[in-house]
Every structure is written in C-alpha cells, then in structure tokens.
Amino acid sequence: MRGGRKGASEVTERWSARWMTGVVGVAVAVLFGAGNALWALDQPEAGAPAHQIVSFYASTSSRIIAGASISLLAAALLVFFASGVRTLLHDYAPDDLLPSAAFGGLLLVVATGLGAETINMAGALRAEHGQLTPELSRALFETSYVLGYNAAGVGIAVLLGAIVGVAWRSPSLLPRWAAPPLLLLAVAFLTPLCRFLLAPAVVALAVVSIRLLLTANAERSTVSASTPTDPA
C-alpha cells in the first residue's frame, strides 16, 4: 500500500508540474501576443528613415507603454515556465545538462525580451514628453529591434537544441523523425529568419501549453480511476 501511495504521489507531482507549466505557458502566450498586438502592426522595418521612427513613437506612444507593461508581465511568468520545462525534461533526460540548457535558453529569451521592451518603452516615454530626437529614436528603435528578434532567437535556438538532445536520447519525448526538423528550426532562429519566426513561436507556445493541460488532465483522471479508496 505504501508503495502504491508513493507511486500515486509521484504521478500527482508530475501532473501538477505539467498542469502548472501549461497554465503559465498559455498566460505567457496570451499576454505577450496581446501586448505586442497593441502596437507591433504599426512598427516600421529595420533601417527605416529616422523621421518615420519618430512618427511611429509619437503616434503609438501610449499603446507602446501599455503593451510593453503587459509584455513585461509575460516575461516574469516566462521564468516560471522555464522552471516547469526544466522539471518536465528531467523525466526524459539521464542528467541535468540538457534540461538546464533549456532553462538557460528561456532565461536568455527573458533577458533579451526585458531589454527590448524597456528600451522600446523608453522611446515612447521620450516621445510623450517631446524629448525624442531623430538620432535617439533610431538608436532606441534599432537596439530594441535587434534584441527582440535576433538576440531572442539565440535563446529559442538553445531551447530547441536542448529539446532535440533530450528527444534523441529518449524517443518517448518526441519521435526520432521530429529531431532533424527541430534542429533546422533552431538553426533558423540564429539567422535573420528569426524576424519571421517569432510570431509562430508564440503560437507554438500556446499550442504546446494547451497540450500539456490536456495531457495533465487525462493523466489525473487515469490516476483517480485507478487509485483505490482506503476504507474508513
């Protein structure tokens, strides 16, 4: 009976980790998507003329400040999601190397995201106070742009590379055929293609998180049905 209770406790712990990671992942995807939707569609391309960047900050300053504030909350929650990913990968990895690498990759995303959002917010704040010069606007915009796309892509590439490594060692995580495409995707995030991959990555985060919630609930139902009730 004690062994059975211990096994049920371990399953409950795994269910809790899956469920909490799924909830946080959905929250991150929704908050980040909503925050960026407030202003990102009006964002000029990298290398745009300085007067266009000044106009962008002047016309969308309130939305940028609001959106960045929401995105900063998403970044804070992403730390908890990173911890959950590390915990879940431990079930498939023989050691802590790759789970820790995945955790570190997501922390890189958090760090670069914090930089991009706060620098972008600084441009909006200066615009609101009429203190944004063309030179300052270009410096803030270009730095935020590179951090938000290229630098964040490095963290995502590390995350995907770590997941590929775990999956290659343990096919129960992912089918072996999925490893090469994920590895190619990781490489793509290290290139200028990351500009086009960030939005799909947020959608993928939401899908994976919802999948975690569904599997956690299914696992909990199975455990509840198979666990005998102790007599009074």
Q: What is the mean pLDDT of residues 150-174?
A: 93
Q: Are the beta carbons of 21 and 212 closer than 8 angstroms?
A: yes
pLDDT above 90 (res 94): no
Count of residues in the chain: 232
Compute the distance between CA of residue 83 and CA of residue 63 in angstroms, rounded to an integer: 31
Angle at 119 between CA 114 and CA 123, to 5 degrees: 150
pLDDT above 90 (res 77): yes
Burial class (CB in 10 A: 0-12, 13-18, 19+), 176: exposed
- Provide the pLDDT for residue 228: 53
pLDDT above 90 (res 186): yes
- Provide the pLDDT for residue 85: 96
Domain spans in the chain, listed from the N-terminal domain onward? 2-226
Q: What percent of the chain has pLDDT over 70?
A: 89
Distances (CA, A) of 117 to 123, 144, 159, 214: 10, 7, 21, 32
pLDDT above 60 (res 167): yes
